[in-house]
Structure 1
């Protein structure tokens, strides 16, 4: 069994854009799969898990993350507009999730999960008061270190 991160897209073009971003970040074509999900199957799977039938898409991008880069995939999928991000275990063979079942949902990815855990961190750092005499890089580093200590 291989660890897999997947997300649903409203269009094939959006999923392909996300795949290109993953390829640019070092993933191979053997690590990423785009598959069509029947609309009814996507609706019933997400309706059972989420309680509404308006979620889900007709295209899913799945990535095998046995390389330990699951957080990179989570970030790329979020930035690309994917919905219903999930983690699953499955058989991955020749670049395909061979035992994928659209009616079975994986574990939902949590909101704060990803490579860059607190997403609004950079905006908050820029909003801090500056005297103009500080090195901007070191000011940001001190802010990030304070936030990490608070987070842990």
Structure 2
């Protein structure tokens, strides 16, 4: 089972824009999937000709496999893009697709404030207690951020 972060968008174009942002932030094309999903209400209430197009347009899901340690990045990107029903799930991810996806089963909702890259405040924790003047501040900060990212995810 793979860890997955998913959210719903109003259109395929919106989801594709978010996918491009995820690719720019370290995800591969094998980590992101966009799919159309029917709303749960449509099965129970039946469909009406007037509302079908609107309902389908509002139910495009982008799912990202976050086994790569970029869970926080996915949550931040989806949240910033206005994803609705943002959730975490476990699923079978094969060849760039969530193969056991069930639109009637929902994952754990992502809580407010969850997904930030690192705990705050960062600056105070990342400064060495005593400096010798020989440190490379870029590499120390990069090491610290990577360590915090692993601890947070």
SS in 2 for 1:61: strand
Structure 1 range deviating more: 29-38 or 107-116? 107-116
Equivalent position of 2:18 in the other structure: 18
Equivalent position of 1:72 in the other structure: 73
Shift of 1:26: 1.2
The reply on whether 1:88 has 2:92 as its aligned counterpart is no
Q: 1:116 to 1:33 in 2, by over 3 A?
A: same
Unpaired segments ≥5 residues, structure 2: 44-54, 128-153
Deviation track 1:4-56 (CA, whole Å, cap 9, x = no partner) reads: 00000011111011000000011100000000001x33778xxxxxxxxx9x9
Q: CA-atom RMSD, angstroms?
A: 2.9
Equivalent position of 1:2 in the other structure: 2
Q: Aligned equivalents of 1:73 and 1:7: distance in 2?
A: 10
Q: Aligned equivalents of 1:42 and 1:2: distance in 2?
A: 28
TM-score by length of 2: 0.66
Unpaired segments ≥5 residues, structure 1: 45-53, 122-139, 146-152
8 Å CA contact retained: 1:91, 1:97: yes
TM-score by length of 1: 0.67
Q: 1:12 to 1:65 in 2, by over 3 A?
A: same
Q: 1:90 to 1:117 in 2, by over 3 A?
A: same
Aligned length: 115
Q: Aligned equivalents of 2:75 and 2:5: distance in 1?
A: 7
SS in 2 for 1:34: strand
